[in-house]
Amino acid sequence: MLTLDLTNAPQWRDLIPGVRVRLRPLTTALMVSARGDPAVADLPEGAASEEAALAMAKALARRAILEWEGIGDADGNPIEPSPEAIDALLDLWPAFEAFQTHYVARALLLDAEKNASSLLPTGPTAGATATARPAQDPVPTVPHD
């Protein structure tokens, strides 16, 4: 059963040890907006899939991350999320991988889940009975001399 969170409220997620982020839900509007981001839309024809994945992840993160904890500047002072800081965060492999796994992939799994076929208790095969019967031995014949 698909469970809908009708509140659409942002949620906190642990990203990497010592860092957590407050994220908007990954909605259709957010995904469409990220696809229209110039960094994604202006990728050259034939861009490597890795380049496209990084551009899309950064575009999503810039739209989804509302707050964070455990991130600071070079002097250790806490900083607020900004497009540049979010991009820098996703340039760190563990943060990128965690964002992809715990935010993007969860939404994609939900999308894949809705494409599965379920049983049809009222479909054309409901209550069908087998009509095939086992073959019977042919009538024995008497050999002719």
Give me the mean pLDDT over the 128-144 stretch.
Answer: 56
Number of domains in the chain: 1
Q: What confidence tens digit (pLDDT) does each residue in 90-113 have?
A: 999 999 999 999 898 876 665 554
What is the length of the chain? 145
SS3 content of the chain, % helix, strand, coil (to 5): 40, 10, 50
Query: Could you tell me the pLDDT band of residue 7, with boundaries at 50, 70 and 90?
Result: confident
For the whole model, what pTM was predicted?
Answer: 0.70
Note down the domain range covering 54.
Answer: 11-113
Whether 3 is covered by a domain: the verdict is no
pLDDT of 144: 62
Q: What confidence tens digit (pLDDT) does each residue in 15-56 have?
A: 999 999 999 999 999 999 999 999 999 999 889 989 999 999
Whether 50 is covered by a domain: the verdict is yes
- Identify the residue whose tokens are 């497009």: 83
